[in-house]
Amino acid sequence: MEEGFKELISRYQGSHSLPRQFYTSETLYKMDIEHYWNHSWIWVGHINQISNVGDFFLFDYGYESIIVARDKDKCINAFLNVCRHRGSRVCIEKSGNTRVFACPYHAWTYELNGNLRAAREMGDGFDKAKHYLKRVNLRIFHGLIFICISDDPPNIDEGLLQLEELVAPFEFENLKIVHSANYPVAANWKLALENYMECYHCAPAHLEYSRSHSLKDPSSANIELKNCLLKKSIEVGLSGDELQINGLGSKDVEMDFYFSRYPLFQGYQTGSKSGKKLAPLLGKLKDFDGGTTDIQIGILNNFLSYSDHVIGYRFIPRSLQSTDIEVIWMVRQDAEEGIDYNLEDLIWLWHCTSQDDERIIGLNQKGVNSDHYVPGPLSNMEWGIKAFHAGYLKQLDKKTNINSKNFV
């Protein structure tokens, strides 16, 4: 089958899954990276991963690699991991502490802020000041570090401002990462992200999750469950006739920023096996109210904040049908393992849940690879996917004018 992107978009029926080529075409994968990921804000880590001068970590996706480092002035910078001599990767270690970044090819050496410090045999006319590692846009929101490599990044500040008051009580800036795990799936990144954006699959696919969590979209719960949750919703600060507080976001518009607080089932203080707390209360929270919060900061970055721990998710494209689902667990910075929290208990729920997701997303890709896959209609609970598709297609359409390209 051969058709251009415009035709492909025009064939897309709203409220359906995407046509096959979006998950199977190498050309579209390249466009995804170049026109979507490279123009999106991406959550790369937490300030407490690089507390000291010289601390750094790498964040890689698609064809890109970014160095995030704390410089001599204690400022955090992010720059492309591409040498300004002949383009080699400069930094190879995933994380660590260093005085400089020395390119392994011809030993050009860069400062912690990306400035070129030394380059051998370059002659008199060579201007070191012009050959710094290319800076990428960076925002820090309550300790969470976001980057965007576009020269024309989308506006993140307005959304962050709207989230400010809602997120502040959790004091994310005082968190530390205590565990991260990678769940690699043989699937396109969009299938992994779409899976996270709906809880239509939660009841059939996530036994452990479904025991403690009301559905991500509790408005579609049955009457008995609704009444039980309504009673509890008052305890988590809602008016009593609502199951969720949606500080931001809407089912009908592009959903870039989102905040939703909702009650867990009776008997659950947090996302644990026993229902009991897992770690000390976060930030300024006074008590375990039995609620939990979904937060989305830019379409690619998702967080789930319980009263005592926070989980971050990323769905990182590695190739057309290879995606790393990265799950990151965070607790208060002053919490001590073995005393204040037990790692095995802490990670239990989302380890099980991510293993389930790994399986169902892989099966999804296998089915979509069939010549006989036809995009199917989305349910009422899959409104998040609808919103993602709208923004994604708009962005690709804006950045391309390539009717003649083929998507085989």
Q: Which of 67, 103, 133, 311 binds ligand FES (CB under 6 A)?
A: 103
**Rounded-to-integer distance, Cα 220 and Cα 241, Å:** 14
Measured from the CB of residue 103, what is the shortest distance to ligand FES in angstroms? Answer: 3
Measured from the CB of residue 355, what is the shortest distance to Fe ion in angstroms? Answer: 10
The binder of 134, among ligand FES, Fe ion, none, by C-beta within 5 to 8 A per type, is none
404, two tokens: 């003649």
Q: Measured in whole angstroms, how far is the alpha carbon of residue 67 from the centre of its chain?
A: 18
Closest CA to 168 of 259, 231, 92, 91: 259
* Residue whose CB is nearest to Fe ion in the complex, by number: 357
Measured from the CB of residue 118, what is the shortest distance to ligand FES in angstroms? Answer: 10
The size of the chain, in residues, is 408
Give the Å distances, CA to CA, from 291 to 66, 174, 243, 373: 36, 20, 11, 39
**Phi then psi dihedrals of residue 88, to 5 deg:** -65, 155
Contact region with ligand FES (CB under 6 A), list: 8-16, 101-109, 153-161, 237-245: 101-109
Q: Measured in whole angstroms, how far is the alpha carbon of residue 21 from the centre of its chain?
A: 24
The binder of 85, among ligand FES, Fe ion, none, by C-beta within 5 to 8 A per type, is ligand FES
Cβ distance to Fe ion smaller for residue 308 or 357: 357
Cβ distance to ligand FES smaller for residue 102 or 360: 102
**Rounded-to-integer distance, Cα 13 and Cα 377, Å:** 9
357 makes contact with Fe ion (CB under 5 A): yes
Cβ distance to ligand FES smaller for residue 86 or 134: 86
Measured from the CB of residue 11, what is the shortest distance to Fe ion in angstroms? Answer: 28
The binder of 357, among Fe ion, ligand FES, none, by C-beta within 5 to 8 A per type, is Fe ion
105 makes contact with ligand FES (CB under 6 A): yes
251 makes contact with ligand FES (CB under 6 A): no
106 makes contact with ligand FES (CB under 6 A): yes
Q: Which of 30, 86, 276, 394 binds ligand FES (CB under 6 A)?
A: 86
353, two tokens: 């849940």
Pairing of strands 144-148, 137-141: antiparallel
Sequence-ordered list of residues with C-beta below 8 angstroms from that of 119, at least 6 positions apart, any chain:
85, 108, 109, 126, 128, 131
How many residues bind ligand FES (CB under 6 A)? The answer is 10
Torsion of CA 338, 341, 342, 346, to 10 degrees: -160
5 makes contact with ligand FES (CB under 6 A): no
Q: Is 228 exposed, middle or buried (0-12, 13-18, 19+ CB in 10 A)?
A: middle
The residues of the shown chain that bind ligand FES, judged by CB under 6 A, are 83, 85-88, 103, 105-108
Interacting residues with Fe ion (CB under 5 A): 357
